[in-house]
Structure 1
Amino acid sequence: MTPVTRPAPLDDIDLSDIEFWSRPSAERHAAFARLRAQPAPVFFTEPDLGPIPSGPGYYALVRHADVVEASRNPQVFASEPSAVSIPDMPEGFGEFFGSMINVDDPRHARLRRIVSRGFTPRMLARLEDDVQRQAERIVAELEQTGPCDFVAHAAARLPLVVICEMMGIPERHHRMVFENSNIVLAGHDRDYLGDDIDTALGRLLTAGSELAGLLSELAAERRAHPTNDLTSALVNANIDGESLTDAELGSFFVLLAVAGNETTRNAISHGLKLLTLHPEQRDLWWSDFEAHAATAVEEIIRHASPVVWMRRTVTRDHEMNGHHYRAGDKAVLYYASANRDEAVFDDPHRFDITRTPNPHLGFGGPGPHFCLGAHLARREITVMFRELHRRLPTIHSTGKPERLVSNFVNGIKAMPCSF
């Protein structure tokens, strides 16, 4: 008689426990593989966060097919009230910190239609020149500095400067933008948020307010004296009679400063770590940089999955892939797991810069919330590694990365490098 194969017990896996997210990457991916082997989505309870009431719990969508289908169906899997927080935060909190990520159509379509003015082919073409110039400067300075922290001296600098120049933010404010964006996406990291939930919420609100306040001042200037930066385009935009309110503008800048800075920075940091751990892949890429650049960048994003998940809330009873969801259920779309799904990716834990096809979900699933800045992020990653290849071809990480303690961002706070 053929024995029945049953999924391994899951008692040691709790995605709500921050201890899980402090485990080594290989352990976490092994746990997600066990979750993917389950016949139905696994339900997790929410932790007690003190001043924030414990929620009803959530389903972890860990298979590629589930994440894709939920992403394509925003009428059922809604981004409201929050896509970036599993607990239900106080009213207005999610929208302030997530802008259009945390709203659905028709409001989402309106906001995206307006802010898309900053991502037109003409604007992106001008940005590409800025990205190239900044990458050349950063790598030249890195060469003079010598062995150092790669994150602080290279990976974090490029997206920060590009976003600030894109918005027209003076250089004297760049450090503030960097520090506050770190706090907004700090997850559970005590280095940024302190030791208790009240302190963390206070720091988070202060960081968001300072970022929004900076743009409010800049917006007033650009209304009176417009230039050719994105802030001018946004404050003076009028698309079929529609424009951004001051609150929407500030919220969008918080999103842009955080998403456009942190995620690209972490992709670049993970990229150097991966090339160090897999020197045969670095040698292959370096042997013909342009031939492998496009697939190498996609593989870095897939393997790193800088944004680990997004949340959705079910709007009505719904059947998906054999499981029945009820109105009000929370579903968390784990991109980090979907990007290692054995049903989609051959040998998914292998880092392969020639991988094709590569239908990763590193920029989110298909649908209205696909990352607006995907093209810019790809450009920044490509240009940074092109300059490293050109000027510092032997660059490599020399120590264990210091990881961000977060279940939302696969972040690297510091990583030594040499060349």
Structure 2
Amino acid sequence: MDSLIILTADSNGGYPVPAVRGGAVSTLVEHLIDDNENRQCFKIELVSLYNKKAKMKAQKYQNTVFQWIKVPVEIKWLDKLFFNIVRAFFPSKKSISYRSVFSLLFYVVKARKKIKHTSATVLVENNIILSWALKGLFKSKSRKYFYHLHNVPRVNGYARKILNSASGYLCVSNYVAEQIEDNKNPIGPIPKDKVKILRNCIDSAVFNINTVDVKIEEIKSRYGIKDDDQVILFSGRISIEKGVDQLLKAMQIISHSKKFKILVVGSYIHGEKSKNTEFETSLKKLNNGLKNAVIFTGYIDQLELKYYYQIARLTVLPSMWEEPAGLTMLESMACGTPVITTDAGGIPEYVGDCAIVLERDKRLPEHIANSILRLIDDDELYEWYVNNGLNLISSSYNQDGYAVRLLTLLNKIDVENLN
């Protein structure tokens, strides 16, 4: 059994593994260790930021040893202060990237000590800054380390040498792979023979068409949703990049035609309550124009989320940035709810023709509105998207075999680099 050390930490809130606070990367790492429990491909040592609930959940794992890094209160206080300063004085910046910078640096120092005397293969999950934990430790070519990129790198972290010496790169989509192979990217150009695609997956035990009527009725009662309401759902972080404003503008076009309810599931920062940002304020003004048909639920736990997808007639996810892949599209389809989305980044690769994919142009709200009405009014077309979405998930995006796919790709990169 191969030994594998996984480094996972970010600057967007410091999500632990198991993913008790959410976070796309943490969720996917949890899928990996879950599948590894059954497949036993690796003996895993996972270096995670400490969280009490995560530590309790981690007790069930037999093939993963957890190394917890507990960030001092003083450093968390610095994170909060710095984050608020960025938000206040640099509103144009993507401030969420500065959510836990000092915690990340603390993690790097502690993680370095934990991997210093090991011969195991190291897998760096997404964050290029984690490269600092590797500097000077891999002088022997027998020691291997790989990067698992969930996003397109925007910095090289002043770590060019360690990046260039990596054994290989696993990318969540062809879009991400093409970006790092380009010399315009901060870490590029990465040679093609070092790059492989490891597509994201979802947990079909969580996201599926199995339902609990009592749970559905409880949620509908909580939000005042009637049986004849046409529920349109958005799921994701409340930010301009995710395009929820595009959905609300679309709903203004067609709000008079049917009895709609719009469920906006998510918060500015995953797992935390609303901060009443300027963008959120603008959304609430749009809601006023929709006669308060929009319901802002805030963060919803993963185990609850499938019922929200099931309540919805449609899910609209009009991402406006170059989304590397997009898990929410897969989650919705797994729950039997058709998806309307955009041609952003790797999304078209993932959904294929099993979702309605729209161009991000000035007429996007209009196109969203027309697509909503088209799906609602055409039962045959609606069922086509339901069935093809379910088939796509079962054939391509189930977490079963995720650890095997990782092992196969790591070995394949090794062989190609030796040749």
User: Do both share a fold (TM > 0.5)?
Assistant: no
TM-score (norm 2): 0.23
Please state which structure has a larger fraction of its residues in strand: 2
TM-score (norm 1): 0.23
- Which of structures 1 and 2 has the larger relative contact order (alpha carbons within 8 angstroms, sep 6+)? 1
Please state which structure has a larger fraction of its residues in helix: 1
